[in-house]
Structure 1
Amino acid sequence: MEKESLSTKLKLVIDALPPGRVEVADIRDLFGQEGLMLLSIFLTMPFMIPVSIPGVSTVFGVAILLIGVSRLLGRKLWLPKRIEQRTIPANKLRAGLTQGLVVVQRLERIARPFRLRWLTTGKVTGTLNSCSLIAGALLLMAPFGLIPFSNTLPALALLLLAIGFLQRDGVCILLGHLANFVTIAYFAFLIAGGGVLIREMLRYIPGLSA
């Protein structure tokens, strides 16, 4: 019997989302403790578009961060009540997930098990990979949500890492690490550019220019 693909499993969860609003706890329960990496993929999918649902990056970022911590410590996933009870409009979430599913399907086609095996085995490597997942979640939570690609880049890093973990594909994991570095560089550019813009604006305010 052919093994069910990641995208097929994710499509089933998307179809199972209730109408109206959905709680983060409900989404978690659809996957269970055994499907944390699949849950991570699901939580990154809405950010595959340049501008995402407002406010969701912080909530989903915290959830992914705690998934990374649970993976790092080898413990069950724990979510604060405030995160569990946070509700999201199911129609907006479903629309973002449907677009994100296209990206997952493309990555799934190119993922291959046992490439760069050294990036998929060993305690030290596992710790490094979990820390990279946590770093990606922190970058997803950064307050640049209205700027194009500020959610997409860290979400892509998280997506590559999670697919790499599930498929045991070291190439996907390596690309996930690289995507984290690209995100950091992009955010540094935004901060530096913002600083220059503020400095130039201050030059034209009477009494503040040198």
Structure 2
Amino acid sequence: MLANKSRIKHQSFSKLLLSIARNIPGQGMTIRQLIDQLGERGLLTVCMVLTLPFLIPLSIPGSSIPFGLAIILAGMALILNRPLWLPQGFADKEIASDSLKYILESGAKLLAKLEKLMRPRFLVLTEADMMIRFNVFLIIFSAFLLMAPLPLPLSNTIPAYAVLFLAAGSLERDGYLLIAGYLLIIISLIYFAVVALLGAVGMEVLFLLTIEDYLGSLMA
């Protein structure tokens, strides 16, 4: 079933987002209502939509953990072949009309460019059930990286693009997009490793300076 779900053809996803953007109620829309608007587009499409706030210059404070968790739950639902379950607190979280419209319209422009490039190719990465599950597992892993609460540039953006490319590549059986997703995961891991290393070096320097100041005060 997982293989069948990932091979459903989804045309004009960007146009669907524009259509949803034009019909947002004045009071905004909840996450549950937004997902319902996607209809039968599938869980991979839900993953793509949930990355949009991190791909454009608009911040929704505190969104990385709940959105990342929702992507993880969507990935698990795909693997287990079950309907998507979301915590009520997240599903009923309302996004303001202006913010949601900006997210969807900006996301539509981005995806319209991506749609021109997408086509079935390098099918060795998309046909076998083992590879399909592996790609979904990487979506889940990328979502964990997305959830990292680091107030640093690109800490959410790189994993979000990884999820987008992996989900889109799985939907359209585009092995090149999947490879791009793999590379972005590697870049994310390198980025986090460098941040951790710099943080460790900074802590060590701070510790040594503290000790030096303490010893200096004793000898004064």
Bucket of the pairwise TM-score, normalised by the shorter protein? 0.7 to 0.9
Instruction: Evaluate the alpha carbon distance shift between residue 188 and residue 12 of structure 1 in structure 2; reply closer, same or farther with a 3 A threshold.
Output: same
The structure-2 alpha-carbon separation of the partners of 1:41 and 1:156, relative to structure 1 and needing over 3 Å to count, comes to same
* Contact kept in structure 2, 1:52 and 1:151, CA below 8 Å: no
- Residue in structure 2 matching 1:123, options 129, 132, 139: 129
Deviations 1:57-93 (A, max 9, x none): 2121111111110111111111121221222333223
With the length of structure 1 as denominator, give the TM-score of the two structures: 0.88
- Distance verdict in 2 for CA 1:116–1:94, change over 3 Å: same
Residue matched to 1:85? 92
User: After the TM superposition, which of the residue ranges 165-174 and 79-88 deviates more from structure 2?
Assistant: 79-88
Partners of 2:12 and 2:215 lie apart in 1 by: 61
**Deviating 4+ runs (over 4 angstroms):** none
Match in the other structure for 1:37: 44
Preserved CA contact (<8 Å) 1:136 1:157: yes
The answer as to whether partners of 2:132 and 2:170 remain within 8 angstroms in 1 is no
Q: What does residue 65 of structure 1 align with?
A: 72
Which amino acid in structure 1 is aligned with residue 35 of structure 2? R
The CA deviation at 1:22 is 2.7
Identity rate, percent:
36
- Partners of 2:204 and 2:58 lie apart in 1 by 27
The residue type equivalent to 1:95 in the other structure is Y
Q: Which amino acid aligns with 1:92?
A: S
**How many aligned positions are there?**
205
- Residues 188 and 90 of structure 1: is their aligned pair in 2 closer, same or farther, counting only changes over 3 Å? farther
Alignment pair present for 1:196 and 2:196:
no
Name whichever of 127-136 and 45-54 sits farther off. Answer: 45-54
Moved more, 168-177 or 91-100: 91-100
The residue aligned with 1:48 is: 55
Cα separation, 2, equivalents of 1:67 and 1:181? 22
TM value normalised by structure 2: 0.84
User: How big is the shift at 1:157?
Assistant: 0.5
